[in-house]
Amino acid sequence: MESSILESIGVEIIGVMSPVSICMLLVVLLVYALSPSNPFSAAASAPPIRTAANLVYLESPSDSASQKLEGALLNALVFVVLIAIVTFLLVLLYYYNFTNFLKNYMRFSAFFVLGTMGGSIFLSIIQHFSIPIDSITCFLLLFNFTVVGVLSVFSGGIPIFLRQAYMVCLGIIVAAWFTKLPEWTTWVLLVALAVYDLVAVLAPGGPLKLLVELASSRDEELPALVYEARPTVPRNTQRRGSGLELLVAGVSDSGSVELQAVTRDNVNRNENESRGNSEYSAVEFGSFGSERHESNRDEGERLLSEENAQDRQSLSSNSSGYSTVIVQSDRATQFSSGASEIINEEMSPLVEMTGLGNEREQLRRDGSEMFSKGIKLGLGDFVFYSVLVGRAAMYDLMTVYACYLAIISGLGCTLILLSVCHRALPALPISITLGVVFYFLTRLLMEPFVVGTATNLVMF
């Protein structure tokens, strides 16, 4: 019995989601374990720490709401401006080829984070659970842990699994520190960072966009702390190539479905007049595609989608009705599935297609190159997802689950968009927006409802 396609679709999405989930889970456990159980004890009333994220305003519980909001906004503004300045500095250094300096700086910061911040977290864990350990052993263990971590950040020859584990560790440690910020500042900061991320990656001249473009034009690794979801078990090239292509195609395929599921006004109409609509969609595609491709290609696509309409009603109704997004994702599917050696039998009769061989080849190579490196997720995304969940953990478990689900689904949406757009995308905005919305909905609406019904043993 041949293996079904269920096993091969979505491998990479899970490959990114599972470390994020582990990171969030550990941060939540850490927050639960280390937060003082009695809110009026001495530890809770200790003065809050002062970091770059609350330079301007120190929140105290007695302030009024408007005061807190104003202070939190100022804090967030200062923090985002600081981050923007640092990122521009990074881009500048990278532009003038200070790559070694950057790498050493990253190593130093990894050392600093693992050694001091991680060390203090380990100390508080040891105190909290009263683990019997002497200081010399503890120091040796911490030192070894830190050194291996620093070595694994940029040098080759380290197993990818170790590097991934250390990335998750770094994320956990930084996120655990960020959860010590006061509440209002945290929320405003998260939203501000999501907006900043959106601007920095997508706007022309945004620092992260510049950085990514520079790195790809020089064909180098990005000099930053980035989690790579490469397959941990190396497979032979033949299998790997086809597997990845198939995966990408699978992602964009299901992407089209999910996008349709959200906006499904005219689904019924589609099914009734799928043929008419598919022509319409082909025309739409034409107007969209002619921006970048020559016209005979559109013709080919049009024929193709007509054939689809006859052949597989479902698929053509998928591509119909929705203008650019769906058609584009459909096309991505065709590219990637065309790249595997199996030629799509529906493409072969189209004479027009052959004229496009070169362009297709080019695009194909781009696509496979991009995905043979695997999906990369910045460490900052790990950190701020976990900060959100950790902050939610300070309220209740219910908000934790709601935020987790929201963040993971936002990440899934981002990954699907990634397979559609084939360019660097910000991972924070969708997830953080969903997370914040679900947090407040859960806290304000769902919690009283669920607690009220469940304590009466009414469930459904």
Residues 12-31 that bind other proteins (CB under 8 A): 13-14
Establish if 9 lies at the interface with other proteins (CB under 8 A).
yes
Token pair belonging to 79:
């923090």
Q: Is 197 a catalytic residue?
A: yes
Residues 107-126 that bind other proteins (CB under 8 A): none
Establish if 418 lies at the interface with other proteins (CB under 8 A).
no
Q: Total number of residues binding other proteins (CB under 8 A)?
A: 60
Establish if 455 lies at the interface with other proteins (CB under 8 A).
yes
Among 105, 401, 425, 433, binds other proteins (CB under 8 A): 401
**Contacts with 157 (C-beta within 8 Å, 6 or more apart), sequence order:** none
Map residue 155 onto helix, strand or coil: coil
Cα separation, 389 vs 157, whole angstroms: 34
Establish if 448 lies at the interface with other proteins (CB under 8 A).
yes
Establish if 277 lies at the interface with other proteins (CB under 8 A).
no
Site pattern 30..69 for other proteins (x: CB under 8 A): -------x--------------------------------
Q: Nearest distance from residue 315's CB to other proteins, in Å?
A: 5
Among 164, 185, 337, 386, binds other proteins (CB under 8 A): 337
**Contacts with 364 (C-beta within 8 Å, 6 or more apart), sequence order:** 335, 336, 338, 339
* Catalytic choice (219, 311, 381, 396): 381
* Catalytic choice (197, 253, 298, 330): 197
* Span of 156-164, 195-203, 205-213, 254-262 interacting with other proteins by CB under 8 A: 254-262
Number of neighbouring beta carbons within 10 Å of residue 436: 20
> Strands 376-378 and 226-228, how do they pair?
antiparallel
CB-nearer residue toward other proteins: 7 or 219: 7
**Contacts with 428 (C-beta within 8 Å, 6 or more apart), sequence order:** 193, 194, 197, 198, 380, 381, 384
Establish if 129 lies at the interface with other proteins (CB under 8 A).
no
Angle between helices 135-154 and 118-128 (to 10 degrees): 140
DSSP string, 285-338: HHHHHTTTS-HHHHHHHHHHHHHHHHH-HHHHHHHSS--HHHHHHHHHHHHHHH
Q: Do 114 and 145 touch, CB atoms closer than 8 A?
A: yes
* Span of 56-64, 143-151, 188-196, 255-263 interacting with other proteins by CB under 8 A: 255-263
Q: Which of 114, 126, 212 is nearest to 172 (CA)?
A: 114
Q: Is 265 a catalytic residue?
A: no
Establish if 283 lies at the interface with other proteins (CB under 8 A).
no
Token pair belonging to 307:
């054939």
Q: Nearest distance from residue 300's CB to other proteins, in Å?
A: 17
CB-nearer residue toward other proteins: 42 or 459: 459
Q: Nearest distance from residue 280's CB to other proteins, in Å?
A: 19
Q: What DSSP element (H or E) covers 226?
A: strand 226-228
Establish if 130 lies at the interface with other proteins (CB under 8 A).
no
> Side chain identity at 438, as an amino acid letter?
F
Angle between helices 357-372 and 324-339 (to 10 degrees): 90
Q: Nearest distance from residue 115's CB to other proteins, in Å?
A: 31
Establish if 402 lies at the interface with other proteins (CB under 8 A).
yes
Token pair belonging to 399:
């908000």
Residues 220-249 that bind other proteins (CB under 8 A): 246, 249
Token pair belonging to 86:
């640092």
CB-nearer residue toward other proteins: 337 or 368: 337
Chain residues in the site for other proteins (CB under 8 A) = 2-11, 13-14, 37, 246, 249-250, 253-254, 256-257, 260-261, 267, 312, 314-315, 318, 333, 337, 340, 342, 344, 396-398, 401-402, 405-406, 408-409, 412, 438, 441-442, 445-446, 448-460
Q: Which residues are catalytic?
A: 197, 381
